[in-house]
Structure 1
Amino acid sequence: MRRKGTFQFKQFSVAHDRSTHKIGTDGVLLGAWADVSNARYILDVGTGTGVIALMMAQRTAEPVLIDAVEIEKEDREQALQNVLQSPWASRISVHHTAIQKFSPSHQYDLVISNPPYFINSWKPPEKKRSQARHTHELSFDELLSAASRLLAPTGRLAVILPYQEALQFTGSAKDHGLHIVRRMEFRSRAHKPVERLLLEFSRQAADVKDESLILHDQGEEWSEDYRRLTRDFYLKS
C-alpha cells in the first residue's frame, strides 16, 4: 500500500519523500534474506530511509539492538522519523556519520548494507543521488574495512549487489579476511540473467550455501518463493 511519499508494510510504514533513494526491491529483499539468528548487535550501513534497520527490528526481539549509520543529513532525519514512528524506537539508533568514522563501544554480530555500487559509470548531477549510488563516498574496500573492524569474531556481513559488482566485492572481501558462506542469485524472471547477488560473509571459511530466487513466475504475479520470503512485510504477500 502506498500513500504519497510513504510505503506501508504490515507492521510499520516508511516515509521516503525526502530520501535520496525510495523504497525498492533490493533493500526489502536483503532485509528479508539476511540471517539474524544469534544476533545481539546489528549494524545497518547506509540506512537511507531506515527500512532495513526496521526489518531487522521486526525480525528480532529484545534485547537485540540495531545501529543505523547514514552520511546524508536529510536521509538520516527521515530514517529517524520512520524509526520513532515504529514499534521499535527503543531498539534502533540512527547515527549521522560516515561509517569510516563510526566508533561504537561494541562489535556486531551482523553488519548489513545495500551499498552504493556504480564504480566507473556516469554520475548523475544531483550530489545526493550521486553520493548514494556511487562508490566514491563509500568504496567496496572502505565498506569491507569497516566490516572487518566492526564485526565480532563470529559476526557476518550481508550485502546485495548487481552481478558483476558482486563478483568484484567477493574477490576484495578475501583481502579483508572475509569469506563467502552464503549466496543467492536473484532474477526477475526465469529466462533473465542474474540481476542481483545476495552475499553473506564470515571470518571463518566454510562451504558456500547457494540459493536462487525468481521474482515473477508468470505475468506480473510474484512467485511463491518470493511471497514466502517477504510475507511478513509486504501487505499483499
Structure 2
Amino acid sequence: METPFRFKEFSIAQDKCAMKIGTDAVLLGAWTSISSEVNSILDIGTGTGIIALMLAQRSFAETLDALEIDEDAYEQAVDNFENSPWGDRLFCYHAAFDEFVEEMKDEKYDLIVSNPPFFPNTSASEITTSRETARSQASLPFEELLHGVSLLLSETGTFTVVVPKEEEPIILEIASSNKLYPNKITEVKGTETAKVKRSLITFQFLQKEIERDVLILEESRHIYTPEYKKMVAPFYLKL
C-alpha cells in the first residue's frame, strides 16, 4: 500500500486517486485569499481533498464542503477528511456538479475554489481512464463550472481557480457572461526564464481593476524562490 503524503498538520492518502497531489492544487490552496468573514467554503472536484484540507487549516469557516464525482476519489477524500484535525467541519458530496447545483441552489458559499479538468479537446468517448476523466474538461466544461459557481456564490463571495495560461482568455470570457469578473490574476512560472504555465484567478461579482503579479517557483532545480517557500511553508514538512 502506498504511504500517505505527510504535511505538517495532516496526511493525504492517494492510492485510490487517479490525480495525485500536484503543484497546481497546493498552489491554489495556499494562494487563495481567505478573509475572517468567510464562513462557508466549497471545493469543486476535490480529488484527494488536498485543497479543502489546506483551507480548513487556514480558516475558521464552519462549513467546508467538497464535491467529487469519481467514486474512488470520493471515498479517499472522505477518509482523508475523517483522519484530519478538522473532520467535524469537512463534508464531501459524491455527485456531478450539475446535480449538486440543482440540489443546493438555495445555499450560498462565501468562497468557492476549483482545480478544474484541463484537457478541453478530449471527447467523452475518448476518455478511458480515471486519470483522463479527472483531467478532461468533458467531465466539467468551463461553461458548466462558471454557471454553477454564479448560482452558488454569495453576493460578496469569491471564486478562485487555477487554469493553464492558454485557457485564461476563455475562462475570463465565460465568467464575464455569468457576471463574474477577475480582480486578481497571478501568472505562475517554473523559473525566471520559463514560459508562464498557469494562471491563478480570483473572481467576484463586483467589477474592479485587476491586480496582476507573477509567481516564480524555482531559482534552479529544487531550489525554491523565497516567495514560493513563504506561501507553502505552513504545509510542507520539508522544502
1:206 pairs, out of 205, 208, 229, with 208
Moved over 4 A (4+): 121-125
The 2-side partners of 1:174 and 1:137 are apart by 22
- Tell me: CA distance 1:10–1:164, structure 2 relative to 1, closer, same or farther (3 Å): same
Query: Of Structure 1 and Structure 2, which has the larger fraction of its residues in helix?
Result: 2
Q: Give the unaligned 5+ runs of structure 1.
A: none
Other structure's SS at 2:167 match: helix
| 1:67-117 deviation digits (Å, cap 9, x = unpaired) | 000011110000000000000000010000111111235200111000001
Deviation at 1:128, TM superposition (A): 1.5
Structure 2 residue aligned with 1:56: 55
Match for residue 163 of structure 1 among 156, 162, 165: 165
- Aligned partner of residue 195 in structure 1, secondary structure: strand
The residue that corresponds to 2:156 in the other structure is: 154
TM-fit CA distance, 1:232: 0.4
Instruction: Quote the residue 1:44 is aligned against.
Output: 43
Query: Counterparts of 1:192 and 1:158 in 2: how far apart (Å)?
Result: 24
2:176 to 174, 177, 185: 174
Secondary structure of 1:160's match?
Answer: strand
Q: Percent identity?
A: 38
TM-score (norm 1): 0.95
- State the match for 1:97 in structure 2: 95
Aligned to 1:109: 110
In the other structure, the counterpart of 2:226 is 224
Give the structure 2 partner of residue 145 of structure 1: 147
Which residue number corresponds to residue 4 of structure 1? 2
Deviations 1:42-64 (A, max 9, x none): 00000000000001100012x53
For 2:131 and 2:94, the matched residues in 1 are separated by: 17
Q: Which amino acid aligns with 1:34?
A: T
| Counterpart code for 1:13 | S
> Unpaired runs of 5+ in structure 2?
none
The total of aligned residue pairs comes to: 234
Q: Give the equivalent residue in structure 1 for 2:192.
A: 190
TM-score by length of 2: 0.94
Cα separation, 1, equivalents of 2:127 and 2:29? 29
